[in-house]
Structure 1
Amino acid sequence: MSKTRKIITWIVGIVAIIAITLVASSMYFFHVAEVRAPKTFIKSAVIKKNNPTFSYDAKFNKQHKEVWHQTTPGGLKLDAWYVANPIKTNKTVVIAHGFAGNKARMAMYGQMFLNLGYNVLIPDDRAAGQSDGNLIGFGWTDRKDYVRWINQVVEKNPQVEIAMFGVSMGGATTMMTAGEKLPNNVKVFIEDCGYDTVKNEIDFQAKSMYNLPVIPRFPLVDIVSGISKLRAGYTYGEASSVAQLHKNHLPMLFIHGGDDKFVPTAMAYKNYEATQGPKELWIVPGAAHAMSFEKNPVKYAGKVQSFLDRYFQ
């Protein structure tokens, strides 16, 4: 074998090894990101008695819950809890949970809104809790499910006034839903620590969790995004809170922890700038990811109530 041929064979072999490694790594990261399975990097759902949110969580868990359902166009059966406020009202909040979460993990927020005088609907996203599905939607596939949940609320009570609220991935879901065509019953949105685009969040986590440099992060995230397009129907770039907020003209309150190391606080400013309606931004000093409510539940609830009172009678 000539020297030139040996060099070509060596280069082809190296390229093949790199390609195989990238594909294998991409399949692994896709599974971590989107496939329904326990996520060991997400903190425990157990709330201890000394936690400031414990009483909220415990009280909501004692509430009577109606179980609501919807079936997606793809045939997935989705599950939700509806809790009517003890004092009859036409005000309802729809709550979206976070990554690897479920409706039960939003109990503390459910009780907060009951205290504020709202009925509460908390769905399990597809691939979460009691809902069907194996692929996590990162808010993008979920946004249309939430439009259907909102429409279901309106069908049951045409006089209803609706707020939507979400935390982390639920915050992104809220922002993504805000860009859809919605009934006039929807009045406001409140999002807490949602990301600007799925691509930026996945890229950030590849660096934060795995210490990957720009290369191989650059091709790796794009390959995982391509797998997502084939498996889940969307790329990470198109799953954008910012793009959806450009279409939103309703009021929105943005909340973000000032010490968020999971969804960078800088993303809150991008989201805030993107929305086209009345808006308010509250950066909570010292709060880590999705910890703003826990840091000071009374102040948090007061901030939410003050915002809602501007738009609800």
Structure 2
Amino acid sequence: MKKETVAAAIALPFITATGLLDASERLYKFVFNRVNEVPPTSEEKQKYAADYYGYVDWLHTQPTRIWHLNGNTDEQLSAIFVPADQESNDTVIIAHGYKGNGETMANYAKMFHELGFNVLLPDSRAHGNSAGKYITFGWLDRLDYLDWITKIINYGGADTRIVLFGVSMGGATVEMLSGEKLPEQVKLIIADCGYSDINSELTYLLKQLYHMPKYPIVPAVSLINKRRQGFNLKQVSSINQLANNKLPIFFIHGEKDTYVPTEMVNENYAATKGPKQKWIVPNAAHAESFWINPEEYRRRVKEFLDEYLIE
């Protein structure tokens, strides 16, 4: 849906309480309802389409397995598991972005696979082949990822070493996961262009894309979400969760990101208490850092792994 259509759908009926409810409901459905198909990428990243589908084709040639959580229930979650070419104790969990799925992370999967990792590509709630009516923006997903971690440890044994990696909503997902009590097998985190908190992100996008104010619509959307998913938007905070993190974390963010503003990575960086590094990628838009220079991206990721993925 074009942004002009969204603005027309939600911006006009503000005058009455009924209008506010209608506008909030329209926005909630557009932002939070599950997706069954991955929408087209932004125009600025269309130039990478051939490379992207090359990575997807690579993934389709791998001896993948499908893993599930909550099997045969209406809460079943799905993931693609790609075993390393040589037996390995190292596994990366890759968290995808908003309205994507595990397959859309094929480029990162190939990068880690070439570095000798097993790769797990979950579909988050309300995405891909996973169940769910509403998108949780990483908040409830972080609890699912705890279960994926347990599944990996059961698969690989106590000597398993786990890396958490995510981009955009996936970056925020692993940042929020960092605040939970994680098993010792989780060694480090890499977060690419994750937002600081969804309340601020939604407020920013309303102003940036639709020239709409935070009040009264964002609080109204939060109330809708509280009724439907059990949490308000202020809870969905990478900053709050990172304050409890002690693991090494590498933050990556595009210098020209206008979807998740670059100042958010500075807030996330300041919040964490563990060893940390930050790379602001020159000229990169949102989730473009890998595509601008895949070799540089891989080199920096490998250097971080070499420094902190230790026995």
Q: Same fold (TM over 0.5)?
A: yes
Kindly tell me the number of residue pairs found equivalent between the two proteins: 294
Pairing 1:306–2:303 present: yes
The Cα RMSD (Å) is: 2.1
Pairing 1:33–2:31 present: yes
CA distance in 1, matches of 2:48, 2:215: 44
Q: Give the direction of change, closer, same or farther, for the CA distance of 1:48–1:204 in structure 2 (3 Å limit).
A: closer
CA distance in 1, matches of 2:183, 2:219: 36
Contact 1:52 1:296 in 2 (8 A): no
Q: Which residue number corresponds to residue 263 of structure 1?
A: 260
Once the two structures are TM-superposed, the CA of residue 40 in structure 1 deviates from its matched residue by 5.7
Q: What is the identity percentage for the equivalent residue pairs of Structure 1 and Structure 2?
A: 42
Contact 1:32 1:39 in 2 (8 A): no
Q: Which residue number corresponds to residue 193 of structure 2?
A: 193
Partner letter of residue 130 of structure 1?
A: N
Q: Which runs of 4+ in 1 moved over 6 A?
A: 46-50
Q: Tell me the TM-score normalized by structure 1.
A: 0.89
C-alpha deviations, 1:252-282, integer Å up to 9, x for none?
Answer: 0000000001000000000000011000000
CA distance in 2, matches of 1:55, 1:32: 30
Among candidates 262, 280, 293, match of residue 283 of structure 1: 280
Once the two structures are TM-superposed, the CA of residue 58 in structure 1 deviates from its matched residue by 3.0
Secondary structure at the counterpart of residue 218 of structure 1:
coil
Q: Structure 2: give runs of 5+ residues left out of the alignment.
A: 1-12
Secondary structure at the counterpart of residue 92 of structure 1:
strand
Q: Give the direction of change, closer, same or farther, for the CA distance of 1:92–1:47 in structure 2 (3 Å limit).
A: farther
Q: Which moved more, 1:58-67 or 1:168-177?
A: 58-67
Once the two structures are TM-superposed, the CA of residue 135 in structure 1 deviates from its matched residue by 0.4
Contact 1:163 1:188 in 2 (8 A): yes
Q: Which residue number corresponds to residue 153 of structure 2?
A: 154
Q: Which residue number corresponds to residue 8 of structure 1?
A: none
Secondary structure at the counterpart of residue 234 of structure 2:
coil
Equivalent positions of 1:119-198 (< 5 A) are: 119-158=118-157, 159-198=159-198
Q: Which residue number corresponds to residue 5 of structure 1?
A: none
Secondary structure at the counterpart of residue 252 of structure 2:
strand
Contact 2:126 2:133 in 1 (8 A): yes
Once the two structures are TM-superposed, the CA of residue 156 in structure 1 deviates from its matched residue by 1.2
Once the two structures are TM-superposed, the CA of residue 312 in structure 1 deviates from its matched residue by 2.1
C-alpha deviations, 1:153-189, integer Å up to 9, x for none?
Answer: 0111221100000000000001001111111000000
Larger radius of gyration: 1
Equivalent positions of 1:40-79 (< 5 A) are: 43=42, 51-53=50-52, 55-71=54-70, 75-79=74-78
Q: Which residue number corresponds to residue 271 of structure 2?
A: 274
CA distance in 2, matches of 1:275, 1:267: 13
Q: Which residue number corresponds to residue 226 of structure 1?
A: 223
Contact 2:39 2:99 in 1 (8 A): no
Q: Which residue number corresponds to residue 210 of structure 2?
A: 210
CA distance in 1, matches of 2:109, 2:46: 15
CA distance in 1, matches of 2:56, 2:131: 25
Partner letter of residue 166 of structure 1?
A: G
C-alpha deviations, 1:56-84, integer Å up to 9, x for none?
Answer: 44322311111000019x95000001111
Q: Give the direction of change, closer, same or farther, for the CA distance of 1:151–1:195 in structure 2 (3 Å limit).
A: same
Pairing 1:24–2:45 present: no
Contact 2:14 2:23 in 1 (8 A): no
Q: Tell me the TM-score normalized by structure 2.
A: 0.89
